[in-house]
Chains A and B, each alone.
Chain A
Amino acid sequence: MTSLAFDHLSVRYGNETAVYDYSDTVRPGEWVCFIGPNGAGKSSLLRSIVGVTKHKGTIYVDGSPLSARSPRRRAQLIAYVPQSPMLPPDMTVSEYVLLGRNPYVSHFSVETDHDREMAENVLARLDLESFASRRLGTLSGGERQRIVIARAIAQEAPILLLDEPTSALDIGHQQQALELVDRIRTEHGLTVISAMHDLTLAGLYSDRLVLLYEGHCVASGGAREVLRPETLGEFYGVTVRVHHEPDGTVVVVPYRNVN
């Protein structure tokens, strides 16, 4: 299992600061979920881990700085499920999942039989074998999300990043996708870092919530500590009631302020 640490991480776009001096350690096997209103810096944080957003400060994986790694090596360590993945409509599902093997294929050669086997196994484990020859353009939202997760798993990286993995899904598919991630995480001992909007689901699946506001980390801890009506009211500008279920689940329910 692999740990990840942020050391004074800052992300700026021109004069806008998206993430401000963030330091934290994600323990091996932990699921950390970033929450916060739109524009709080959740995506910027994830994108700087993947290396597609320039940042100041250092990100360490198992104690060694990520910036010293080549893109290929980085991709062997970190798999990324973006918020709105680009799915070429003519590409087949098996071609798409096979892309996840790229970090193991040297630049000008082609995938080996082992890579193809890996991709097939991932599809089999996610019950997606019947999709293998489908074109991406023909898939529904829930199917797409599973395929993108399948590609990330084919990458065999110990760290999985999920940017809003459930935002386009109905409640049933949200649960399905998160259960899938949780199962894989247990099976493979993955460290998971996600950004999510649904606070109840975020609290339900992750080990720790980090609340970001305008690029600052304003709260960090378990669901009971972070998901409090005053905190959420202050940073989201929302009126909520928070229920604590007997099984420990923290449920966030918005209500209307009727005068």
Chain B
Amino acid sequence: MLQPNNSVSTVVAWKWIVASLVVLCAALLFGTMIGPAGPTWWRVPLELLDRLPLISIDSGVTDSQWLIVSQIRMPRVALAALVGAMLSVSGAAYQGVFRNPLVDPYLLGVAAGAGLGATVVFTVNRAGTTSWVIDPLPLAAFVGGLTAVILTYLVGAAFGNDRASTTLVLAGVAVTSLATAFQTFILQRNSDVVRQVYSWILGRLSTATWGDVRLVLPYVIASSIVLIMHRRLLDILRVGDDEASALGVYVDRVRLVVVITATLGTASVVAVSGLIGFVGIIVPHAVRLIAGTSYRIVLPVSLLLGGAFLVIADVPGRVLSDPAETPIGVVTALLGAPFFLLILRMRKARV
């Protein structure tokens, strides 16, 4: 008989999923309770309970304070959770299909490509598109992001004999530079939109509204579901393309679907939140270290803990807002850069 923990039984996966769900809820609550203005922190949970049906508690929260919580804090926390979740699960999925622990939406050039796409929308006519039924901003970000990831992949495949090599990361750096150069060029010729574009690039969690949340929610839900459906196939890809194919997997089709899905999700969140780096590399690797390397665990747990991570990473930016808010991208880069070096070092030790 096998011991119960021998295989990635669904029980083990569910244990981690439930635990991360608890962490996510705690982070959401924490994020809602903390903020520079508004009610005292402990009154917030009471007020939330009060708003549940059949429960009545006098929390002492005034209407204007509740407005701060519900219209400023809550959309920001919700958006942070969605962005963090999407970047993390996409990062994990990219790492799986490229069999490369160093790739994330940033390093593959997706974010820069999406930024370029968004810049084009701002330049051409942002004001005229706000009344469109479907906002073209996420779509433009998607086209830019997808073009960038395909370019990175082709360059990496042309100059490296192996997807698992650092060539892919270097190709991503080159594509990122190219996209940024184009973006700078466009901005130079359209100086009237520079402010808009830069405030967008620096991360817009600070101006999050429920409208932003509604804009990305469908993309995040759809992409996450498709990615998590591929969890078992990503496990098989770990043994290499040829063997996975010999085991009956349509390798190219799986890779294409996963890359397009992860890119669509990433581009949609980048379109509302701006560029937030390293989340897609920190969270999946932390999950692998604590919970295991099977994608049946890595994908769902990264999704949930990625949301929790970004909500918490956003808190210092909101509280230490003197004189100006620390952009969320700065916080994640401060944590992410050393983490990236740590992974490089661990890889070297293994080889």
Contact = CB atoms under 8 A, between A and B. Distances in A.
Q: Which of B10, B245, B288 has the most CB of A within 10 A?
A: B245
B233 to A, nearest CB: 7
The majority secondary structure among interface residues of chain A is: mixed
A82 interface: yes
Interface string B202-240: 000000000000000000000000000110110110111
A120 B248 CA distance: 21
Interface of A: 47, 50-52, 70-76, 78-80, 82, 85-92, 94-96, 98-100, 102-103, 105, 107-108, 110-111, 116, 119-120, 123, 129, 132-133, 155
B293 interface: yes
A91 B233 CA distance: 14
B247 A82 contact: no
A170 B266 CA distance: 50
Most buried by B among A50, A78, A82, A99: A99
A51 B233 contact: no
Contacts of A87: 239
Interface of B: 1-3, 5-8, 10, 229-230, 232-233, 235-236, 238-243, 245-250, 288, 292-294, 296, 350
B43 to A, nearest CB: 45
A110 B10 contact: yes
Contact of B7 (A72, A86, A98): A98
Contact of A108 (B229, B239, B242, B293): B229
Given A94-B2, A110-B232, A133-B6, A103 B242 contact: no
Given A50-B245, A71-B245, 4 more contacts: A50-B242, A75-B248, A80-B246, A86-B238
Contacts of B5: 133
B229 to A, nearest CB: 5
B293 A52 contact: no
Nearest to B3: A133
Contacts of A129: 1-2
Nearest to B233: A107
